[in-house]
């Protein structure tokens, strides 16, 4: 039977987010004195997935491996949850425990606001979990939209460089079906990244994407296909019609990392949001410094 819940409130948690989310969790999960003082047990069936969980795919092999470890050694690190039984950290442990029929798991309850829980969940996953590139991009987007953070702030909070954050977020310019394929691990970052340079050529992009799925092309093969305009005569003919314009568009897209169109004496540059716009303006040398 589950024991009575003990709640723990980390003072100033909102102030140390980003730099020390990992430190907060480490204190709970590795300091036995603290963990034993605030630990209780909750029925597995009462626990709810984190609504802000950026991880979309849980590999069955990983869960099985963790389940075998739990069978041998038990759950050494408590699961971190909110007062509403929502999992903040440890969803893989809960899934593994459930798979082997455990009825309850050790937990630590944190008092978190919805905003704190969202930031805690996103940053904890980025710092501690092997997210796919597209999951990481989606997580950064969540921080940008929900918490109004600029790329520099995101980079600081997750311990990454600003260029890393910017490059990963560029993946969100890809069509949704390609993002979905990346989530399902059907397409890698190396295969998908070159496609950013042909966002303005939907036909070519779709044809090369289908080739990637069917033939599992390497990143170099994808780049070669893009350079040659694909394999069909129609694609080659289209490329020859206005080589100069397409070449200029592709150069701009590679430089700016977003869709660029030159048509009817008009230059169009696509951007995701104000942060992405500022990134483009900075590349162009048009962003005023404070």
Residues 12-55 pLDDT 10s:
343 433 334 555 565 555 555 544 555 688 888 898 887 776 66
pLDDT bin (cut points 50, 70, 90) of residue 111 is: confident
Which is more confident, 127 or 34? 127
Residue 81 maps to a domain: yes
For residue 123, tell me if it sits in a domain: no
Pinpoint the alpha helices (H) of the chain: 13-16, 21-30, 32-38, 60-73, 91-99, 114-128, 133-146, 151-158, 162-169, 176-183, 189-192, 202-215, 219-228, 233-241, 243-256, 274-283
End-to-end CA distance of the chain: 59
Read off the pLDDT of residues 156-184 as tens digits, 9 standing for 90 and up: 877 788 999 999 999 999 999 999 999 88
Q: Nearest 5 degrees, angle CA 221-CA 136-CA 80?
A: 145
Is 260 found in the same domain as 171? yes
Same domain? For 103 and 172 the reply is: no
- Which residue, of 81, 98, 113, is where some domain finishes? 113
Average pLDDT over residues 125-139: 77
Cα dihedral sign, 254-260-264-265: negative
Q: Which domain holds residue 178?
A: 165-283
Which secondary-structure segment (H or E) carries 270?
none
User: Which CATH number goes with the domain that contains 60?
Assistant: 3.90.1530.10
Range 52-62 average pLDDT: 69
Domain total of the chain: 2
Which stretches within 81-150 are classed as H helix?
Answer: 91-99, 114-128, 133-146
- Do 105 and 40 meet the contact criterion of CB atoms below 8 Å apart? no
Q: Give the predicted TM-score (pTM) of the model.
A: 0.54
């Amino acid at each position: 039977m589950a024991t009575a819940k003990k709640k723990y409130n980390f003072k100033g948690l909102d102030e140390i987010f980003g730099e020390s989310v990992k430190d907060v969790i480490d204190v709970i999960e590795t300091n036995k004195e603290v963990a034993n003082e605030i630990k209780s047990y909750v029925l597995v069936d009462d626990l709810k997935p984190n609504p802000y969980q950026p991880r979309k795919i849980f590999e069955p092999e990983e869960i099985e491996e963790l389940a075998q470890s739990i069978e041998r050694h038990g759950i050494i690190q408590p699961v971190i949850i909110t007062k509403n039984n929502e999992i903040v950290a440890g969803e893989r442990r809960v899934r593994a425990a459930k798979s082997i029929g455990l009825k309850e798991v050790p937990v630590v309850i944190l008092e978190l606001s919805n905003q704190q829980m969202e930031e805690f969940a996103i940053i904890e996953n980025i710092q501690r979990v092997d997210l796919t590139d597209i999951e990481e991009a989606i997580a950064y987007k969540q921080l940008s939209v929900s918490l109004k953070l600029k790329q520099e702030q995101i980079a600081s909070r997750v311990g990454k460089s600003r260029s890393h954050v910017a490059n990963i977020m560029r993946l969100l310019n890809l069509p949704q079906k390609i993002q979905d394929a990346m989530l399902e691990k059907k397409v890698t970052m190396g295969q998908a990244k070159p496609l950013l340079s042909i966002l303005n050529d939907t036909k070519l992009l779709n044809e090369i994407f289908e080739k990637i799925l069917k033939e599992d092309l390497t990143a170099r093969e994808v780049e070669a296909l893009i350079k040659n305009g694909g394999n069909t005569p129609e694609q080659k003919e289209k490329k020859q019609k206005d080589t100069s314009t397409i070449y200029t568009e592709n150069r701009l897209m590679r430089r700016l990392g977003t869709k660029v169109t030159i048509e009817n004496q008009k230059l169009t540059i696509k951007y995701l949001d104000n942060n992405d716009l500022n990134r483009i303006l900075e590349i162009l040398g048009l962003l005023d410094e404070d």
